């Protein structure tokens, strides 16, 4: 939906989707992922997710939506 509304580019939406997949694995299938994989994914996603969050907040503020 964020991609369809023009809030996120395809690349940013893919990053967000990767983070959601990781979250789902951690919450629902924690047995199937090791700590090293979690650490690597978190390191890879950290800066990108901050950038995505800023874009979402900017979009909301631009439309007068209180985050």
Locate 5 and state its tokens.
């509304």
pLDDT value of position 1: 87
Of the pLDDT bands very low, low, confident and very high (cuts 50, 70, 90), residue 12 is: very high
What confidence tens digit (pLDDT) does each residue in 45-62 have? 999 999 999 999 999 999
What is the C-alpha to C-alpha distance for residues 18 and 20, in angstroms, rounded to an integer?
5
DSSP 33: S
| Mean pLDDT on 12-20 | 93
Here the tokens at position 10 are: 């395809």
pLDDT at 28: 87
Do 25 and 33 meet the contact criterion of CB atoms below 8 Å apart?
yes
Whether 17 contacts 27, CB under 8 Å: no
pTM: 0.75
């Amino acid at each position: 939906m964020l991609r369809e509304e023009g809030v996120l580019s395809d690349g940013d939406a893919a990053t967000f989707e990767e983070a959601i997949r990781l979250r789902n694995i951690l919450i629902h299938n924690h047995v199937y992922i090791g700590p090293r994989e979690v650490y690597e994914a978190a390191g890879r996603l950290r800066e990108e997710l901050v950038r995505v969050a800023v874009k979402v907040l900017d979009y909301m503020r631009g439309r007068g939506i209180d985050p």
